Structure 1
Amino acid sequence: MNTSTLLRRTLLSLATTSVLMGGHAPTALAQTVADKTVLRISSPAVPDDWHGKMWDVLKASLNKSAPNAYDVQINLNGSLFKQGTEPAAMARGNLELASISAFDIAKLVPEFSIFTAGYVIRDPKHQQKVFNGPIGDELFKLASEKMDVTILATVYLGTRELNLRDTRKVNTPADLKGVKLRMPGSKEWLFLGDSLGATATPLAFGEVYMGLKTGTIDAQDNPLPTVRAAKFYEVTQQIVLTHHLVDSLFIAVSNKMWNSLSAPEQKHLKAAAQAAAKFNNDNRIQEEAQILDFFKKQGLKVVTPDQAAFRKAVQASYDKSEMAQNWPQGLMDRINATK
């Protein structure tokens, strides 16, 4: 007997029992369904991006380790909460899980703003070693205390590059003067955009495609797999390989949910989050190694600027900023020394 047939017969049996017992069996069934722990997930990711697909991995992992224990509800495209508003929703108890950025965390944990600076994390391996070691432990503890969220895994979002609506000569930051570069709307994101030499322009992710198409913005920055998944290549003509930020997302759960779970349940959820992160990271790294050929076939011009000039300009901007005053003494040296 297959699972579908068994389920139909079980439901029929319960319905028959309900008639004989005055309707009590369906109530028992409803209680069984209701007893599942609801995990609402909010993400701005589009379905075709790896950090959208990774939530299916988390859900499958939980279903395997804890069958019938969770009702995992995945909401992509910012359909439940807009990008950047997820931490507040988790703190209020209106959301259980989300992928939050270093920029989201830095709003309430100023020490974390070091990871919003350009040219700090060198590559994906360096990223994982930093966040899976003592530095990550210390800063994640601060996030838990100040934001009421527990970080479960570090996700490699990709290395951010510039993507221009029109072709132009770009070799140094001076060549971006006057370019309206879309950035998310926090001061940390906008500072990074300005430090690259452009005019940082806040715009929600869901509005970027139309903004590029209509000329509301001249450029956007994202990892190249995101450019492909969101189809920005349809409305742009040039990619500039600045490599200005090795970007991170952090799978986080509200402390309200986390503290309600038993130790085995916490173990299952953390393992599921780490499986999701690994799925994303492995696929994103592989895709990045092959993706430039795709853009060239779409007719986009791909250029490599003077990355040393960009690095020097960006780091000089941060050295003089108020943001750098929030960085714990010696933290940059510790990050640089992590191998």
Structure 2
Amino acid sequence: MAFSLSRRLVLGLALSSALVAGPAFAANPVKLRISTPAVDSDWHAKMLPVFKEELEKRAPGQFDVEIHLNATLFKQGTEPAAMQRGNLEMAMISAFDIAKQIPEWSIFTAGYLIRDPEHQQKVFASDIGEEMYKLVEDKMGIKVLAVGYLGTRQLNLRIEKEVKTPADLAGVKLRMPGSDTWLFLGKALGANPLPLAFGEIYTALQTGAIDGQDNPLPTVRAAKFYEVTKQIVLTDHLVDSIFLSLAGATWNKLDDKQKEAVLEAAQAAVAFNNEGRIGEERQLAADFAQQGLKVYRPDVEAFRSHVQKAYLESELSKAWPKGMVERINAVK
């Protein structure tokens, strides 16, 4: 009898311990800290709560998503290294960030390669995307979850001169971000590119230190560049991308169902971003015209042929995977 009672007591204690352990395990969800320089009014910031909500729907209680905007957690451009060191779980990184470590990715920094947002999504949903994402996973230890549309870059000038072809940009001081790949793009467009921090653009336009800058139209609105410029030239020279990415070490800790939930939530988030950004861009061209800016489309084909020729003849293109330009152009 004593043996029977002792056994029941042991079993009861074991069961109680299991019940306590279960909730304790569930109370330790996978932490996903997302770092971005985006401000809360940016579409690629607005999409992050969508990611968080969609992930919670698909995997209730299994993830703890923290969103850090305004580069408060890591400075812009340092996120890939932070993920690689194990100091950060998630970030939105650019092709320019990736190209610093994987030269083959500089193909996605080239002007006039990706035609429009639809082409962008199709390219990265194809075997091209699969191959290039695998390079990031193998060489950087980062898992790309989804590609978001960051906007189509246009020329925004303070000068009166109408620009129809690259020749019309000769001598024009065009602000570009301060990296070799960005400066090459400015030169390929026909301008005189000058490196300048984003925060200095407004004053430089105001004083004439630069003649223009290039950014997607939502950025022109958000930074109020329209106040100190006279025209917007719809060159469509770069369909920019942002890649919602996860540290490889974090990805590898997830089970198959969690991985599926993360991928689906990422797709829902970028779909929200893409729809909102495309709609805003379409409206902004008309809004700027109403505000008195000259808004017009130049000879885009002249720009495209000039820019692509410059890239194909450059050192940059030597790192591109053989035949990749033709494969990207063939995606319809």
TM-score (norm 2): 0.86
Residues 120 and 94 from structure 1, CA distance in 2 versus in 1: closer, same or farther, beyond 3 angstroms? same
CA drift at 1:322: 0.7
Residues 129 and 269 from structure 1, CA distance in 2 versus in 1: closer, same or farther, beyond 3 angstroms? same
**Corresponding letter in the other structure for 2:281:** E
**Kept after mapping to 2: 8 A contact 1:123/1:246:** yes
**Kept after mapping to 2: 8 A contact 1:153/1:251:** yes
Q: Which residue of 2 aligns with 1:158?
A: 151
Residue among 294, 300, 311 paired with 2:287:
294
Q: Which residue of 1 aligns with 2:304?
A: 311
**Corresponding letter in the other structure for 1:44:** P
Decide which moves more: 204-213 or 328-337. 204-213
Pair 1:337 & 2:330 matched: yes
Pair 1:45 & 2:38 matched: yes
Q: Which residue of 2 aligns with 1:192?
A: 185
Q: Which residue of 2 aligns with 1:12?
A: none
Residues 64 and 210 from structure 1, CA distance in 2 versus in 1: closer, same or farther, beyond 3 angstroms? farther
**Corresponding letter in the other structure for 2:70:** N
How many angstroms apart in 2 are the aligned matches of 1:33 and 1:180? 57
Pair 1:122 & 2:97 matched: no
**Kept after mapping to 2: 8 A contact 1:62/1:269:** yes
Residue correspondence of structure 1 range 135-146 to structure 2 within 5 A? 135-146=128-139
Residue correspondence of structure 1 range 173-322 to structure 2 within 5 A? 173-322=166-315
**Structure 2: where are the runs of 5+ without partners?**
1-20
**Kept after mapping to 2: 8 A contact 1:167/1:301:** no
How many angstroms apart in 1 are the aligned matches of 2:171 and 2:84? 38
How many angstroms apart in 2 are the aligned matches of 1:282 and 1:87? 27
**Kept after mapping to 1: 8 A contact 2:105/2:132:** yes
**Kept after mapping to 2: 8 A contact 1:151/1:252:** yes
CA drift at 1:289: 2.2
**Kept after mapping to 2: 8 A contact 1:102/1:115:** yes
Decide which moves more: 134-143 or 31-40. 31-40
**Corresponding letter in the other structure for 1:125:** E
Pair 1:75 & 2:45 matched: no
Residues 176 and 83 from structure 1, CA distance in 2 versus in 1: closer, same or farther, beyond 3 angstroms? farther
Residues 258 and 94 from structure 1, CA distance in 2 versus in 1: closer, same or farther, beyond 3 angstroms? same
Q: CA offsets, 1:196-253, max 9 Å, x none?
A: 1222223343444444345444322112123223333233322111111111111111
CA drift at 1:77: 2.5
Q: CA offsets, 1:123-170, max 9 Å, x none?
A: 111111110110000010001111111100011112211112343322
**Kept after mapping to 2: 8 A contact 1:42/1:76:** yes
**Corresponding letter in the other structure for 1:231:** K
CA drift at 1:65: 2.2
Q: CA offsets, 1:180-210, max 9 Å, x none?
A: 3222222211111111122222334344444
Residue 287 of structure 1: SS of its match in structure 2? Answer: helix
**Corresponding letter in the other structure for 2:55:** L
CA drift at 1:75: 2.0
**Structure 1: where are the runs of 5+ without partners?**
1-27
**Kept after mapping to 1: 8 A contact 2:26/2:62:** no
**Corresponding letter in the other structure for 1:191:** F
**Corresponding letter in the other structure for 2:234:** L
Residues 36 and 203 from structure 1, CA distance in 2 versus in 1: closer, same or farther, beyond 3 angstroms? farther
The percent of aligned pairs where both chains have the same amino acid is 61
CA RMSD of aligned residues (A): 2.2
